[in-house]
C-alpha cells in the first residue's frame, strides 16, 4: 500500500505552491528551525563573542568602553587575589572530584548487590541531589556554627571532644564548604554508577565465577574496565560542577563573601564580585575567559580519554 | 550456601549502606524537624520536636514575601520547562528526521554552545537586559534558559530511534509536517520528554546565580534568592531560616516521593544520553 502511494506521489504533478515534496519538506525544516536559530544567535553566540571582545576592554558600565588589548589578562597575572582564587578553585576540583567518585562508586558497588530495601536506600542517597543548593547551604552553615548554636559542635561537646572551627578557620572552611557540595552531588553519581553496573552483562560474571576468579579480580579485571565510560563521564561532569561552585560558597559566607581572608573564594564568586559589586565588567569578562579556557582543557582531556578506550 | 542464609559480611555491608543513607538525609530531616520547633528547643540535640508547632511557617508566610517568591519560582520553572520541551524536541526532531543542506552545520553550532559556561554569558546577558529593559523582570530571569543545547541533543538522540515508516505513513494520510511531529512523533518519545522536563524544572527551581544578578526588587526574587536575603536578615533565628529552607526544598522532595521511579530513570537517561 505504502509503496503504491509513494509511487503515486512521485509521479503526481507538483503541488499548488510549485514546490516538490522534497523542497516542501526542506522548507518545513527551516521553518521549524527559524525561531531556535534566532535564539541561539542572539542569546548564545553573540554574547559569547561579546564576552571575548569585552575582555579586551576597560569598562565600568557607565562610561565608554576603552580598548586596552590584553591588559586585563596582564593585570590578572599580577593580581594576588586572583591567584588565591585560582588555587581555591583548583582545590575544590582536585579534592572534590576523586573523593566524590570514590565514595559514590563504593556505595553503588555494594548497593548493586543488595536486594533488601534496595530502592529505599537508593532514595536516601539520591534525595540531596533534588534539594536547592542555596537553601541547604544555610542548613550546613547552621550545623557548622560554634557552640552553643552549631549542631556538630554541640554534639562534639556532648561527647567531650575538642571543638572544631569550621567556617571561621582559613584552613577548615574550604573543606567544610566542599563537603556540602560533595553531599549535594553524590546521589546523582551513585545513580549513574548503578546504571553503569547494571549495563555489564551478567554472563561476564558467571564465566568468571565458573573459572574460579575471586571477587577482587572480578572487580579490577571486569567491572572497572567495563565501567570506564561511566567513570570518564562522571569525572568530567563533576569536575565541571566543582569548577563552577558558587551557590554554597555565596550562601555560607554572606558576611564576608569567599572568606575568611578569601580562603574559600572560587572563580565564579570572584567574577560575580568584579562584575556586579565593583562593576569592572571588562576585567570580569577576562576572568570568565580564564574559566572558559579551564573548561576547554577539561573537555579536551575527556575526548582524549574516550578515544583511548 | 542457601540463598536465604544471611552472611555476616552481607549484613554488615547492608547496615553500613543504610547508615550512610541515613547520614545523607540527616540534614534534610533535621531542617524539616527544626522548622517545627519552638525557638527554645532549637539548640537542643533532640531531633524530633517535643511539641511540634506550625508557628514558624505562620510567621514566615505572614508577610506574603515567601508566597510571592514561591509563585515566581513555580511560574518561571514551569514556563521554561514547557519552552524547552517544545523547542528542544522540535529542533532535535528536525535535525534527526529531515535531510537538508546545512543540517550538520546547525547541529554542530548548537552543540558547540555546550562548551560555553553560563558564567561567561551572564555579563553580556546583563548588558542586553539593561538595554532591552529586561532587568528585574520575570522575562529577564527566564530568557537565557528557554532552549538548551543539552535538551536538543537528548531529544535528537531519541527521535533517531523513531522509525521513518511511521512518519511516512502519516504523510500518506495527508497530515502536515507540524502535525506529524506533534501528534505522531512526540507521543513516541514521552519517556525522554519527561526526563527533559524533570531536569529543566529542577535546574530552574534551584537556579541561583542568574536570578541573583538580574533581579533587584524583592517582589521579583525567585525562592533561592529570596531565601538568601531573608536568611541574611534573620541571621540568628535559625528556626526561621530552616523554615524558609524547607519551603524552598519541599516541592521537589514531594514530587520525588510521588514519582521516584520515573525521576531516577529520567535522570539516568538524561545523564547518560545527554
In a domain, B31, yes or no: no
All three cell numbers of B149, joined, read: 543545547
Distances (CA, A) of B21 to A42, A120, B249: 45, 9, 18
Chain B residues within 8 A of A51 when measuring between CB atoms: 120-121, 123-124
| Bigger pLDDT: A14 vs B258 | B258
Would you state the pLDDT for residue A305? Answer: 77
- CB nearest B169 (choices: A2, A33, A191): A2
Residue among B13, B45, B125 minimizing CB distance to A110: B13
In angstroms, the separation between the Cα of residue B191 and the nearest Cα of chain A is 16
Return the minimum-mean-pLDDT range out of A12-16, B11-15, B24-28, B33-37.
Answer: A12-16
A274 contacts A287 by C-beta, under 8 angstroms? yes
* In-domain check, residue B218: yes
Check if the beta carbon of residue B80 is closer than 8 Å to that of residue B140. Answer: no
ipTM of the complex: 0.91
Residue among B62, B44, B46, B66 nearest B54 (CA): B62
Q: CA nearest B125 in A: which residue?
A: A47
Distance CA A112, CA A119 (A): 10
What pLDDT is stored for residue B46 in this prediction? 83
CB contact under 8 A, B249 and A131: yes
Closest chain A residue by Cα to residue B101: A26
Q: Where in the sequence is the domain holding B133, given as residue range(s)?
A: 56-273
Three cell numbers at B259?
514519582
Chain B: give the shortest CA distance to residue A221, in Å.
22
| Distance, CA of A103 to CA of A87 (rounded, Å) | 24
* Predicted pLDDT of residue B195: 87
Report the residue of chain B nearest A26, measured CA to CA.
Answer: B100
User: Cell 549535594 identifies what position?
Assistant: A184
Q: Phi first, then psi: what are they for B72, rounded to 5°?
A: -55, -50
Residue A39 corresponds to which cell in the numbers above? 535564539
Q: How far is CA B9 from CA A205, A214, A217, B14, B16, in A?
A: 20, 16, 19, 9, 11
**Does A25 contact chain B (CB < 8 Å)?**
yes
Q: Note whether B264 contacts A30, CB cutoff 8 Å.
A: no
- Cβ atoms of B200 and B81 within 8 Å: the answer is yes
Round to whole Å and give the CA distance between B272 and B274: 6
Measured over the CA atoms of residue A227, residue A230, residue A232 and residue A235, the dihedral's sign is negative
From the number of C-beta atoms within 10 Å of its C-beta (0-12, 13-18, 19+), residue A71 rates as middle
Are A97 and A245 in contact by the 8 Å Cβ rule? The answer is: no
Average pLDDT of every residue of chain B: 91
Residues of B in contact with A123 (CB under 8 A): 256, 260
**Residue A92 half-sphere exposure toward CB, CA atoms < 13 A:** 30
The answer to whether B43 contacts A289, with C-beta atoms less than 8 Å apart, is no
Question: What end-to-end distance do the CA atoms of chain B give, in Å?
Answer: 43
Whether A5 and B119 lie within 8 Å, measured CB to CB: no
Residue A54 has its nearest CB partner, among B123, B223, B242, at: B123
Q: H helices of B162-234, where?
A: 164-172, 177-179, 186-188, 190-206, 209-214, 223-233
Question: Distance from B69 to chain A by nearest Cα, in Å?
Answer: 13
Question: CA A140, CA A56: separation in Å to the nearest integer?
Answer: 40
Alpha-carbon distance B43 to nearest alpha carbon in chain A (angstroms): 6
Q: Residue B136 above 80 pLDDT?
A: yes
A142 Cα to chain B: minimum distance (Å): 7
Give me the residues of B, 46-85, that contact A with CB < 8 A.
Answer: none
pLDDT in tens, chain A (309 residues): 344 444 444 444 445 557 788 888 899 999 999 999 999 999 999 999 999 999 999 998 888 888 998 999 999 999 999 999 999 999 999 999 999 999 999 999 999 988 889 999 999 999 999 999 999 999 999 999 998 889 999 999 989 999 999 999 999 999 999 999 999 999 999 999 999 998 888 888 888 888 888 888 888 888 898 898 889 889 988 999 999 999 999 999 998 999 899 999 999 999 999 999 999 999 999 999 999 999 899 888 877 876 765
Contact between B91 and A36 using a beta-carbon 8 Å cutoff = yes
d(CA A265, CA A258): 4
Q: Identify the closest residue of chain B to A21 by CA–CA distance.
A: B171
Q: Do A272 and B209 touch (CB under 8 A)?
A: yes
Query: Are B21 and A50 in contact (CB < 8 Å)?
Result: no
Which H or E run contains A2?
helix A2-11
Is the CB of A295 less than 8 angstroms away from the CB of B231? Answer: no
Is B228 within 8 Å of A233 when comparing Cβ atoms? no
- CA A153, CA B246: separation in Å to the nearest integer? 23
Pairing of strands A57-58, A66-67: antiparallel
CATH of the domain at B146: 1.10.3720.10
Q: Which pLDDT belongs to residue B7?
A: 81
Indicate whether B7 belongs to any domain.
no
Instruction: Determine the 3-state secondary structure of A57 from DSSP.
Output: strand
Looking at chain B from residue 129 to 188, which residues have their Cβ under 8 Å from any Cβ of chain A? 143-144, 146-147, 152, 165, 168-169, 172, 177-178, 181
Residues 6+ apart with CB under 8 A from A57: A65, A66, A67, A68, A72, A282, A285
**Dihedral sign of CA atoms B7, B9, B15, B17 in order:** negative
Q: Cα distance from A133 to chain B (closest Cα, Å)?
A: 7
8 Å CB contact between A29 and B101: no
**What are the sequence ranges of the domains in chain A?**
80-136+162-307
**Residue B227 maps to a domain:** yes
DSSP letters along A232-275, please?
HHHHHHHHHHHHT--HHHHHHTTTSTT-STTTT--HHHHHHHHH
Return all residues near A27 (Cβ < 8 A) that are at least 6 apart: A19
The chain A residue lying nearest B114, using CA atoms, is A44
Q: Which of B9, B119, B211 to mutate to test the interface with A (most CBs of A within 10 A)?
A: B119
The residues that bridge with A57 in the sheet, in sequence order, are: A67
CA atoms within 13 A on the CB side of A152: 18
The pLDDT value given to residue A3: 46
CATH topology of domain A80-136+162-307: MetI-like fold (1.10.3720)
Q: Say how many domains are in chain B.
A: 1
Residue B268 has pLDDT above 90, yes or no: no
How large a percentage of chain B has pLDDT more than 70?
97
State whether A39 and B87 contact (CB < 8 Å): yes
How many other CB atoms sit within 10 Å of the CB of residue A157?
16
Residues B80, B83, B85, B89, Cα dihedral to 10°: -140
Q: How far is it, in rounded angstroms, from Cα A39 to Cα A105?
A: 39
B99-137: burial string, b at 16+ Cβ within 10 Å, e else: ebeebeebbebbeebeebbebbbbbbbbbbbeeeebbeb
pLDDT reported for residue A63:
81
Task: Tell me how long chain A is.
Answer: 309
Closest chain A C-alpha to B258 CA, distance in angstroms: 12
pLDDT in tens, B52-111: 999 999 999 998 999 999 999 999 999 999 999 999 999 999 999 999 999 999 999 999
Q: Do A138 and B147 touch (CB under 8 A)?
A: no
| Residue of B42, B45, B108, B120 to mutate, testing the A interface (most A Cβ within 10 Å of its Cβ) | B120
Q: Cβ atoms within 10 A of the Cβ of B15, count?
A: 10
Position B93 in a domain: yes
Please give the average per-residue pLDDT across B250-262, as a whole number: 85
A229 close to A306: Cβ distance less than 8 angstroms:
yes
pLDDT digits (tens, 9 = 90+) for B183-242: 999 999 998 998 899 889 999 999 999 999 999 999 999 999 999 999 998 877 899 999
Contacts of B192 (CB under 8 A, 6+ apart): B154, B155, B158, B269, B273
Cell of B244: 524558609
Interface of A with B in 123-152 (CB under 8 A): 123-136, 138-140, 142-143, 148-149, 151
Rounded CA-CA distance B36/B53 in Å is 5
CB contact under 8 A, B115 and A288: no
Q: At what angle do helices B238-273 and B55-62 cross, to 10 degrees?
A: 80
Instruction: Record the cell numbers describing residue A222, joined without a space.
Output: 571486569
B143: phi then psi, degrees, rounded to nearest 5? -55, -35
Amino acid at each position: 500500500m505504502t509503496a503504491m502511494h509513494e509511487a503515486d506521489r512521485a509521479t503526481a504533478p507538483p503541488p499548488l505552491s510549485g514546490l516538490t515534496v522534497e523542497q516542501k519538506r526542506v522548507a518545513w525544516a527551516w521553518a521549524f528551525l527559524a525561531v531556535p536559530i534566532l535564539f541561539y544567535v542572539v542569546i548564545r553566540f553573540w554574547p559569547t563573542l561579546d564576552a571575548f571582545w569585552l575582555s579586551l576592554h576597560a569598562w565600568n558600565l557607565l562610561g565608554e568602553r576603552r580598548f586596552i588589548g590584553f591588559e586585563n589578562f596582564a593585570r590578572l597575572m599580577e593580581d594576588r587575589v586572583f591567584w588565591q582564587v585560582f588555587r581555591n578553585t583548583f582545590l575544590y576540583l582536585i579534592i572534590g572530584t576523586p573523593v566524590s567518585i570514590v565514595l559514590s562508586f563504593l556505595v553503588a558497588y555494594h548497593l548493586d548487590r543488595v536486594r533488601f530495601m534496595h530502592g529505599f536506600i537508593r532514595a536516601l542517597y539520591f534525595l540531596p541531589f533534588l534539594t536547592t543548593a542555596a537553601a541547604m547551604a544555610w542548613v550546613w552553615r547552621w550545623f557548622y556554627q560554634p557552640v552553643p548554636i552549631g549542631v556538630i559542635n554541640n554534639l562534639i561537646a556532648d561527647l567531650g571532644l575538642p571543638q572544631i572551627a569550621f567556617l571561621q578557620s582559613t584552613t577548615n572552611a574550604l573543606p567544610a564548604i566542599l563537603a556540602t557540595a560533595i553531599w549535594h552531588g553524590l546521589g546523582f553519581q551513585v545513580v549513574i554508577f548503578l546504571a553503569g553496573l547494571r549495563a555489564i552483562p551478567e554472563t561476564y560474571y558467571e564465566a568468571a565465577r565458573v573459572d574460579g576468579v575471586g571477587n577482587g579480580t572480578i572487580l579490577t579485571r571486569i567491572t572497572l574496565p567495563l565501567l570506564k565510560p561511566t567513570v570518564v563521564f562522571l569525572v568530567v561532569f563533576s569536575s565541571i560542577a566543582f569548577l563552577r561552585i558558587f551557590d554554597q560558597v555565596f550562601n555560607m559566607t554572606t558576611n564576608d563573601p569567599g572568606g575568611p581572608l578569601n580562603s574559600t573564594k572560587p572563580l565564579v564568586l570572584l567574577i560575580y564580585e568584579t562584575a556586579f559589586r565593583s562593576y569592572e565588567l571588562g576585567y570580569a569578562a577576562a576572568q570568565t575567559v580564564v574559566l572558559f579556557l579551564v573548561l576547554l582543557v577539561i573537555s579536551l582531556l575527556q575526548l582524549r580519554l574516550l578515544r583511548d578506550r | 550456601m542457601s540463598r536465604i542464609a544471611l552472611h555476616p559480611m552481607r549484613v554488615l555491608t547492608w547496615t553500613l549502606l543504610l547508615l550512610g543513607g541515613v547520614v545523607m538525609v540527616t540534614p534534610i530531616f533535621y531542617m524539616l524537624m527544626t522548622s517545627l520547633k519552638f525557638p527554645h528547643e532549637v539548640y537542643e540535640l533532640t531531633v524530633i520536636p517535643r511539641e511540634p508547632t506550625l508557628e514558624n511557617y505562620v510567621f514566615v508566610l505572614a508577610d506574603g514575601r515567601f508566597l510571592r517568591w514561591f509563585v515566581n519560582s513555580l511560574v518561571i520553572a514551569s514556563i521554561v520547562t514547557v519552552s524547552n520541551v517544545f523547542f528542544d524536541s522540535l529542533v532535535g526532531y528536525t535535525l534527526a528526521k529531515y535531510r537538508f543542506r546545512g543540517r550538520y552545520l546547525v547541529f554542530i553550532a548548537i552543540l558547540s554552545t555546550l562548551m560555553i559556561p553560563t558564567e561567561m554569558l551572564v555579563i553580556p546577558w546583563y548588558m542586553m537586559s539593561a538595554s532591552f529593559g529586561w532587568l528585574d523582570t520575570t522575562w529577564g530571569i527566564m530568557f537565557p534558559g528557554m532552549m538548551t543545547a543539552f535538551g536538543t541533543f537528548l531529544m535528537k538522540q531519541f527521535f533517531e530511534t523513531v522509525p521513518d515508516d511511521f512518519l511516512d505513513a502519516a504523510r500518506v494520510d495527508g497530515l502536515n509536517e507540524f502535525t506529524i511531529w506533534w501528534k505522531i512523533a512526540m507521543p513516541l518519545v514521552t519517556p525522554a520528554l519527561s526526563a527533559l522536563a524533570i531536569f529543566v524544572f529542577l535546574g530552574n527551581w534551584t537556579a541561583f546565580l542568574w536570578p541573583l544578578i538580574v533581579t533587584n526588587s524583592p517582589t521579583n526574587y525567585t525562592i533561592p534568592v529570596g531565601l538568601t536575603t531573608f536568611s541574611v536578615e534573620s541571621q540568628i533565628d535559625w528556626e526561621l531560616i530552616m523554615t524558609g529552607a524547607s519551603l524552598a526544598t519541599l516541592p521537589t522532595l514531594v514530587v520525588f516521593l510521588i514519582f521516584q521511579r520515573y525521576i531516577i530513570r529520567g535522570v539516568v537517561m538524561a545523564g547518560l544520553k545527554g
